[in-house]
Amino acid sequence: MGMPTVIAAEEGCPFCQKILDGSAEQIGMSGVYHFEPLNPVTPGHRLFIPAFHYTDAVDATVAAGAVFEWVSWWIPRNNPDEDFNLLTSRGDAATQTIRHFHVHYVPRRPGDGLALPWTNQQTGGTR
């Protein structure tokens, strides 16, 4: 896939580096990229990021909408029947470790070992 017209990379950002070194895959010419995280929590876990370096969704209101829109376009073409979570975080208390806005696409399966605290799910095993 080709590069978008403009990329605004932040020096030292590992997500920006993935775009620059070609290890993140772009969705068409959208300026939205995806790749597998270092520690996927379920098989198929992907991170989706904008080509511009934004710290979080508050810093990137328009880009955040575009990333969610492209994730929503990507899912039925790649995993049409899968249950999933889409998640983003802002700040240390919310577990944001890389300060580049990103959306987690986390495919879900019964017993996948990922219990979300706002549900009464049981882990049903290990990740």
What confidence tens digit (pLDDT) does each residue in 83-112 have?
A: 999 999 888 887 888 889 999 999 999 988
Q: What is the mean pLDDT of residues 16-41?
A: 94
Assign residue 83 a region: left if phi > 0, alpha if psi is -120 to 50, beta otherwise?
A: beta
For the whole model, what pTM was predicted? 0.85
Do the beta carbons of residue 1 and residue 18 sit within 8 Å? no
* pLDDT score, position 116: 79
- Dihedral angle sign, alpha carbons of residues 66, 57, 74, 1: positive
Among 115, 113, 109, 117, CA closest to 44: 109
* pLDDT score, position 99: 87
Residue spans per domain, the chain:
14-108
Chosen CATH of 14-108 out of 3.90.245.10, 1.10.10.10, 3.40.50.2300, 3.30.428.10: 3.30.428.10
Q: What is the mean pLDDT of residues 57-69?
A: 93
Do the beta carbons of residue 60 and residue 73 sit within 8 Å? no
CA dist 67 → 32, 47, 85, 102, 112 (Å): 6, 10, 15, 8, 26
Among 55, 48, 52, CA closest to 25: 48
Confidence of residue 51 (pLDDT cuts 50, 70, 90): very high
Confidence of residue 123 (pLDDT cuts 50, 70, 90): low
